[in-house]
Amino acid sequence: MFTYCHSAAVLVVLVYVNDIILTGSSSSSMTKVLSDLGSHFAIKDLGQLHYFLGIQVHYSTSGLHLTQHKYIQDLLHRVELLDSKVFHTPMTTATVLFAHDGTPLPDGTQYRSIVGALQYCTLTRPDISFAVNRVFQYMHSPSDTHWQAVKCILRYLKGTAHHGLLLQPCSDFNLLCYIDAAWASCPDDRRSIGAYCIFLGHNLISWSSSKQRVVSRSSTESEFRAFADSVAELSWVKFLLRDLCMQQRYAPLLLCDNISTTYLTANPILHARTKHVDINFHFIRECV
């Protein structure tokens, strides 16, 4: 990503191999950039953005609607599920996957390929992030039970292929982050699942659901580690917004449902009880 900020003009150029998106606040500056690029490279102006790396862009009075409808249809065609029944949720609350469930697949190539493709779907579908993260845990040795869980996600996508992200114009550039963790929720190694979602104004711009790297001995510790991951992501987002000349009037607001965790972020008296999470502890306190 290349940015240019001068006076009232802000230009952003996003490049992926030979695909380029150009946007900005000044039409004349954008025209000049296209002209300069055209004098050095063979480029073609395809007009208003409608499709980029599998992501479709739809314009409305509400804002931009990003979907991956075509990508999902192609994915369903690959696994011959275009005529399958629709599921109303990507994974039920009763679904618990184990590493040694079911019969191992004779060839896990298709499983790995489809799960990798599903991970790309999470670019516009945060609603499947948790389920995709769960099936992603078994890439090394998938079984027929894990494959059935993948099919559930695909059948859910079949009925919701038109769903996506809505990005609306707003004057509020404040950052808001929601954080949560499911303590010891992985039945195989008892590691926790941490998750966060970050809003810029009322637009969702970043999210994650992933298994933590270590085993937490309490729910407070698991929430605290999720806190650290979200703060690291927030720090990166702040740098990105600064490059885009978007000034933050207020410090980001983080919302966590664990009182002990929020006390840890500001209370140095609890040092003795957190020596085993010392690095995360000092990182978050320094940011606060």
Render pLDDT for 74-132 as a digit per residue (tens, 0 to 9).
999 999 998 889 999 999 888 888 888 889 999 999 999 999 999 999 999 999 999 99
The answer for residues whose C-beta is within 8 angstroms of residue 222's C-beta and 6 or more apart is 181, 182, 183, 184, 192, 194, 212, 216
pLDDT tens-place string over residues 136-193: 999 999 999 999 999 999 999 999 999 999 999 888 889 999 999 988 888 888 989 9
In a domain, 197, yes or no: yes
Same-domain check for residues 40 and 104: no
Same-domain check for residues 27 and 99: no
Which structural domain, as residue segments, surrounds residue 98? 67-164
- Residue 229 CA to residue 85 CA, distance in Å, equals 37
Same-domain check for residues 100 and 147: yes
Same-domain check for residues 179 and 271: yes
In a domain, 267, yes or no: yes
CATH number of the domain within which 209 lies: 3.30.420.10
Same-domain check for residues 99 and 197: no
Same-domain check for residues 202 and 146: no
In this predicted structure, what is the pLDDT of residue 273?
A: 66
Q: What is the DSSP letter of 105?
A: P
